[in-house]
Chains A and B, each alone.
Chain A
């Protein structure tokens, strides 16, 4: 009850924002479905007249449908960039299949006797189509349109991953920050939108014989104006733009604080952390907020701007382990600490690069590194029941780190290790650790400090820039509050980092974040 009330209060408080996002969502869904209706019905009709084309065309539409949404959005970035246009194109492609297929089968399923009678009475092909085939196929065509619409309301949430806005922003920010209220704030209006659109289409279907002229005009008008507006928007010269993942966008040690500290005057859009690098590489954004050890920094020739005012807190890698596990297996702690003080930023970036760009396996990369620093690593992992379960978040570095710890533990103790990597975010890892589903996972000192412990603000301000102080505070608190042990940290500091394309940075002479802020003010 309490939770319901606070959700309601939260939604009321943010109603303006909800309305904006819902409108964006409706716009993305509506314009893409309208386009798909025009193109899909047309293609469906052509297929009924050229039936030999039907199976290849429907096959292609089917294939498009099977492309994962996020991958399709990724393909769009080099071609059409970020924002509403690639989102609308992707949604349009997803809506095509049900509409083409239902138009085609709907028309073919019209009783052949009825069609023959129509032709025999002297109807032209067009009259037969408009007076007999389309009206009789209408329920089936509408079923396709309604399916496409409901699917698109769902898929449109993903469009926030390429800075197209919509209710997905609430949902994905909520997931990133483990904020149920935010997730529901996006999900509930999306569900209502789907229901509303379905009911609305049902109403249109029932009255189409009365309204069809008005509907056609409205459809044409919305399409022409809508596409015109979108094109006009895209013609506008792009301002200096930052692409940020949503966690960075919201966190107080992220964008808001950075803007304040450096007085950065620039627009920012939210997008997927993975797609962000691609967007920067393809010159669709100018600046991104990434991670200092990311392999793509080298691969895409990016420049990390120096945090000259030391705004970003330290994010040194350090494993969090359950104390129960350490007591049960006393030999474990020493093995884990074999890695303490190893792996610096440069090395971490290279390891990430080997996996991301050179397509080596995390296992291979981890082994090669460990052997290069003189550790003796067993060749093959033993099969059998695991004593220890290692968790990890869902990005490259965590896969490598989990693998390193697993190899070190197996090589230097008699314990068997199982890896459960790819967990979707800090809160999921942390919950799993507390529940005992995993025994340890590589965490970052800054994340543990700010996200897991939520210390009072004055404390944050007083120690946030001190690596040792943060480490000691986290070690003490996770032990007291959660019964966990923070083990020795690596040298790699995967802090947030502001980066630009090397050639642009060089051209503008931007080396530090202060340089960037100055450039933006003087521009």
Chain B
């Protein structure tokens, strides 16, 4: 879907992106992670040519972006930024309709698309279409910004710290809705963030950048359990346990778990694909010892107790050490 080869960017003498390569699969959520100044945002903006590259090649669906008209290119790529960038003088409906209008969609198509996007973002079209951005909460504004970026169904969506300005609870909710939406639409996402937990929660793969280079590229689990260098380890230090619980799914502990007990009525039910962090949150919220587990298709597998999970986690850690 997206191939980046030997991409470079220098501002004057300063090399901010230093010959990086990666490729993103269709439908994947690909996270560019790193501290500020590591070159992640510059990399992102070179993809839609908001920043011209100093060298290297970027291909989207096989086409070299430097050979395309930048304006036409951007109309085919969704773009969401941290400060949401909604036009304050446009209503919600007008904001969402910007790209479809640029692409000369018919009036009916635009209306239909706008309503559909709002419903997908769980916002009532009737209540919101004629409002102005300032009348909405931060979380609602960011959901509108996502709807605006996706309404023309771009195959690729670029996001720059999209959830950083939101408060933690809103952020979590918006992230969940967002992930569901892009999965449903099959959109490929490249997202920049400095927030580790956001990267772990959303990313199918994470590209950790440091000083313009790729420090490590892999799944969240690979980065946590198999850091490629001291620099990578340092990046996670202090958040190790939290990170591990986030990247490990119950499924990953399967061989260390005792046999399933019979499912118990009235106990909470989790999916075997849930992360340990998610399961801990659920237990914490409900004060229950016994947990029913089902597989990804919803088939009940049986129950276990919290101690079983903890024991299995210890065994996995011992194995890795």
A: residues with CB less than 8 A from B are 111, 113-114, 116-124, 127, 131-132, 135-136
Contacts and interface: CB of A to CB of B under 8 A. Distances in A.
B71 A124 contact: yes
B84 A119 contact: no
Interface in B77-92: 79, 81-89
A7 B215 CA distance: 86
A120 B84 contact: no
B98 A121 contact: yes
Contacts of B86: 114, 117
A347 to B, nearest CB: 73
A120 B156 CA distance: 13
A122 B72 contact: yes
B71 A122 contact: yes
Nearest to B89: A135
B63 to A, nearest CB: 16
Interface string B228-245: 000000000000000000
B50 interface: yes
Contacts of A113: 81-85
Interface in B89-119: 89, 98-99, 102
B72 A116 contact: no
Nearest to B145: A117
Interface string B57-85: 00000000000000111111001011111
Contacts of B81: 113, 116-117, 120
- Please indicate which of the listed interface residues B72, B85, B99, B102 has the most CB atoms of chain A within 10 Å of its own CB: B85
Contacts of B143: none
A390 B317 CA distance: 106
B79 A121 contact: yes
Contact of A132 (B50, B83, B87): B87
A135 B89 CA distance: 8
A403 B213 CA distance: 84
A137 to B, nearest CB: 11
B89 A136 contact: yes
Between A117, A122, A135, the greatest number of chain B beta carbons within 10 A of the residue's beta carbon is seen for A122
Contact of B74 (A114, A122, A131, A136): A122
Is chain B's binding surface mostly helix, strand, loop or mixed?
mixed
Contacts of B82: 113
A119 B74 contact: yes
**Size band of the B side of the interface?**
20 to 34
B53 interface: no
Given A114-B85, A117-B85, A121-B149, 17 more contacts: A111-B83, A113-B83, A114-B88, A117-B79, A117-B81, A118-B87, A118-B98, A120-B85, A121-B74, A121-B79, A121-B102, A122-B72, A122-B73, A122-B75, A123-B102, A131-B87, A136-B89
Contacts of A119: 50, 74
Residue in B48, B71, B72, B75 whose Cβ sees the most chain A Cβ within 10 Å: B71
A135 B82 CA distance: 23
B71 A136 contact: no
Nearest to A120: B79
B8 interface: no
A446 to B, nearest CB: 67
B246 interface: no
Contacts, number: 60
Contacts of B76: 122
Contact of A136 (B85, B88, B98): B88
Contacts of A114: 85-88
B148 interface: yes
Given A113-B85, A136-B89, A121 B50 contact: no
A121 B89 contact: no
Interface of B: 48, 50, 71-76, 79, 81-89, 98-99, 102, 145, 148-149, 158
A124 B102 CA distance: 10
Contacts of B158: 120
26 contacts: A111-B88, A113-B85, A116-B50, A116-B81, A117-B79, A117-B84, A117-B85, A117-B86, A117-B145, A118-B85, A118-B98, A119-B50, A120-B48, A120-B74, A120-B85, A120-B158, A121-B74, A121-B79, A121-B99, A121-B102, A121-B148, A122-B71, A122-B75, A127-B102, A135-B89, A136-B87
Closest 4 CB pairs of A and B: A117-B85, A122-B75, A120-B79, A113-B83
B69 to A, nearest CB: 10
A121 B98 CA distance: 8
Nearest to B158: A120
A117 B79 CA distance: 7
Contacts of B75: 121-122
Contacts of B149: 121
Contacts of B83: 111, 113
B99 A122 contact: yes
Contacts of B102: 121-123, 127
Contacts of B72: 122
A131 B99 CA distance: 13
A124 B73 CA distance: 12
Contacts of B74: 119-122
B136 to A, nearest CB: 15
A123 B81 CA distance: 16
Contacts of A121: 74-75, 79, 98-99, 102, 148-149
B95 to A, nearest CB: 9
Contact of A116 (B71, B85, B89, B98): B85
B130 to A, nearest CB: 15
A132 B79 CA distance: 17
A136 B132 CA distance: 14
Nearest to A132: B87
A131 B88 CA distance: 11
A207 to B, nearest CB: 14
Contacts of B50: 116, 119-120
A270 B87 CA distance: 54
A386 B25 CA distance: 97
A131 B90 CA distance: 10
A518 to B, nearest CB: 71
Residue in A120, A124, A131 with the greatest tally of chain B CB atoms within 10 Å: A120
Contacts of B148: 121
A98 B263 CA distance: 77
Contacts of A120: 48, 50, 74, 79, 81, 85, 158
Interface centre among B79, B86, B148, B149 (most CB of A within 10 A): B79
Contacts of B88: 111, 114, 136
A125 to B, nearest CB: 9
Contacts of B89: 135-136
A118 B101 CA distance: 13
Contacts of A122: 71-76, 99, 102
Contacts of A118: 85, 87, 98
A114 B98 CA distance: 13
Contacts of B99: 121-122
